[in-house]
Structure 1
Amino acid sequence: MRLYLMSQDEGFVRCIDNGPHVPKETITGLVEADGTIGTDKIVVKHPDDCTPEDLEEVNKYKRAMNIMFNGIYSDMFECVMNSPTAKDVWDTIRNLYEGSKQVRENKMQLLIRQYEYFQSIPGKSLSETFSRFQKLLNGLRLHKRVYLVKDSNMKFLRSLPKEWKSTTVSIRNSYDYKDHTLDRLYGVLKTYELEM
C-alpha cells in the first residue's frame, strides 16, 4: 500500500508520517500590554486566509486516509475506522499484516535460517526449487536482509541435487557466474536441464 500511496503522490506518505498539514502564519509587530513590541508569533491560519497550496496539503491528508480505508478488507476496516490519525491507521494495518516489531524480527530470523539451510526437495523440479528460493529471497528483502548476488548464486547452485553436480561445478568454474543475476543463472541451468 505504501508503494501505491507514493505512486499517487509522495506527499501522501509524508502526511501519514508527519500528520495532517496545519496552515500557519507568522504575526509580527505585536504590541504587548506594556506598549513594547513583542516577539513574532506563529498561529494557525483562519480558513479564509489559506492559500490554494495550503488547502491542497490539507486535502492530501484526507485523500491518504481515503486510499487506506478503501484499500483494506471490511473486517480490517472495523479495526481502524476509529483511529484518530493516518499514522494510527497505518501502524494498525502494518501490525495486522506483519505483526509487531518482535514478530517481524522472529520472521526475519526464521527466513535467515531457511536461507542458511536451503536445499532442493527430492522429486521437485528445477523450476519449483528456483521458485521456492526466489520466494525466500523476496521475503528476506521485505525484512531488509539482502545477500550479495554472488552469494545467492552460490547458495542456489549448492542447493541443487547430486544429479546437477557436474553442471554446477562447470558453472562455478566459469569466470562470470558471480556477475549473473539469479534469473540469468536459472536460465543457464534451464538450458542445461533441457539438454540432459
Structure 2
Amino acid sequence: MSSQKVSSIKVPQFDKPRYNLWKKKMLLYIRASSPEYMRVLREGRHVPMKDHLELPNMKISCPEAEWSARDKKLIALDEGLRLILVDSMDDDMSHQIMVCDSAKHIWETIQLLMEGTEDVRQNRLYILTSQYEAFKSLPGESITQVFERLNKLLNKLSIHGKTYPKREVNRKFILVLPHHLENKASFVRERVDFETMTLEKLYGKQKTHKMEHEQMKIIYGGGTVDRKNV
C-alpha cells in the first residue's frame, strides 16, 4: 500500500498517558504507509557504500554525488519515516528526538524514554506473562468483564512482543469462565473450529448463551427447563 492511500488519515498523535495505545496505532499507520518502512524501522538508515580502491574486500562510505538511484530511494524512505514520527510528537518529546539521525534512532529513543532499558522491558514482559498464566475470573465477575480483562492483558503482551496461538488463548478463556457456564464451554470446545476462531468470536458465543440462559429464567421463572416440552 502506498503512502498516498493513507494520506487522508491523520498521523496518530503522541499521548504520553496512553503510550501503549499510541504505539500500536503508530505501527499500524507505518505499515499502511509503506511496507518498506518496517524494514527501515528494524534495520536503520541506509548508508551508501562503495569498494575501497586500494584495500580489496573493504567498503567505505559513498559521497552523496555518487549515490545511485537505489541509494537515494532507500535514504528517502528513512526521511519519510522520520517525518511521520516527528509529526506525531508533542513539543516536549520533539525536543528530545530532534537530535536523532535516523527513524530507527527516533523510535528506539521514544521506547527508551517511555519503556526504560531492555532489562526493564524484559521485566515488564515477565510480569505480564506471569499475570497471563495466573489469570482467572474474579468472584461475581461477568463474562464481559472476564473477556475485557483478558483481552487487555493480551494487547499489552502483544505490544511487548509476546503472542499466543488462538487455541491456547481460547482454552484459557474457557477454563477461567464462571462455573455456571461449564456445560456451554464444553460444547464449544468440541467445535471443529474451536482452535482457529478468534477470542472475540468465542466471547460472542458465550455471551449469546448467557443471554439465552437469562431469557429462559424469565420465561420459566428460574426453574429447570424441560427440553422435551420446549
* TM-score band, normalised by shorter chain: 0.7 to 0.9
- Structure 1 residue aligned with 2:112: 95
| Unaligned residue ranges in structure 1 (runs of 5+) | 31-37
1:168 has 2:193 as partner: no
**What is the 5 A alignment of 1:1-196?**
1-24=26-49, 47-172=64-189, 174-176=190-192, 177-196=194-213
Deviation for aligned residue 1:156: 1.1
Which residue identity is paired with 2:31?
A: M
Which residue identity is paired with 1:135?
A: K
Identify the range of structure 1 (176-185 vs 154-163) with the bigger mean alpha-carbon deviation: 176-185
Deviation digits for residues 53-102 of structure 1, max 9, x if unmatched? 44333332222221111122222112212223433222111222333211
Distance 1:112 1:45 in 2: 46
| Unaligned residue ranges in structure 2 (runs of 5+) | 1-25, 214-230
Gap change, CA 1:25 and 1:146, over 3 Å in 2: closer
Which residue identity is paired with 1:108?
A: L
Gap change, CA 1:13 and 1:158, over 3 Å in 2: closer
Distance 1:160 1:169 in 2: 11
RMSD: 3.0
Distance 1:39 1:155 in 2: 58
Identify the range of structure 1 (92-101 vs 50-59) with the bigger mean alpha-carbon deviation: 50-59
Distance 1:159 1:145 in 2: 21
Gap change, CA 1:47 and 1:127, over 3 Å in 2: same
Instruction: Give SS of 2:89's match.
Output: coil
Distance 2:196 2:56 in 1: 62
